Structures are given as structure tokens and as C-alpha cells.
Amino acid sequence: MAESESIKEYPVPGIVVTWEATRCQHARECVMGLPGVFDPKKRPWITPEEASVEDLVTVIDRCPSYALSYRTDDGRTRTAPN
């Protein structure tokens, strides 16, 4: 996946979390699921080092708009449908 200006990447050991602002519907699944990682009042607002890879995957998989995606070191991915 090519990174554009609208897609931000947040790499940490084990996973790269991506956020595509133009897709975000503000459903707050991320904020409610991992408030220590996803805090819209902070900059950067995503700090994936605050959670395990498994917890990140679980919460990101709940994002209804696919604004949040990931690539894990063990080959798992979540990307927006075309």
C-alpha cells in the first residue's frame, strides 16, 4: 500500500497501524476500545506502543469505515475494500 498525504503510518515493533483521515466516520470504536492508544486530544493521536499487537488488531478490526488498518510482522493485514 502506497502512503499518501491522507494516510498516516504509525510503526512499532510487530505492527504498522495506518489511518486514512478521509475514510474516518468517527464511530469511536478505536477510542472506546483502546483509549490509551487512540486519543484525539493528543498529537500524535495514535500511540500504538501503548498496547500489544493482539489488542491493536482486535480493536482496529472493529473500525467500520476501514479508516484504521494494519500490517503485522507475522503477515496479517487489514486494508480498506476497493
**What is the CATH classification number for the domain harbouring 66?**
3.30.70.20
**Does residue 61 have a pLDDT over 70?**
yes
The reply to whether 2 falls in a domain is no
CA 48 to centroid of chain Cα atoms: 8
Residue 7's pLDDT is 93
Q: What is the number of domains present in the chain? A: 1
pLDDT in tens, 29-58: 999 999 999 999 999 999 999 999 999 999
Interval 21-30: pLDDT, tens: 999 999 999 9
pTM assigned to the model: 0.91
DSSP 59-81: HHTT-TT--EEEEETTS-EE---
In this prediction, residue 82 carries a pLDDT of 79
Range of the domain at 68: 7-78
- Whether residue 1 lies inside any domain: the answer is no
| pLDDT classification of 16: cutoffs 50, 70, 90 | very high
- Tell me how far apart the alpha carbons of residues 32 and 39 are, in angstroms, rounded to a whole number: 10
Whether 68 is in a domain gets the answer yes
HSE-CB at 39 with a 13 A cutoff on CA atoms is 10
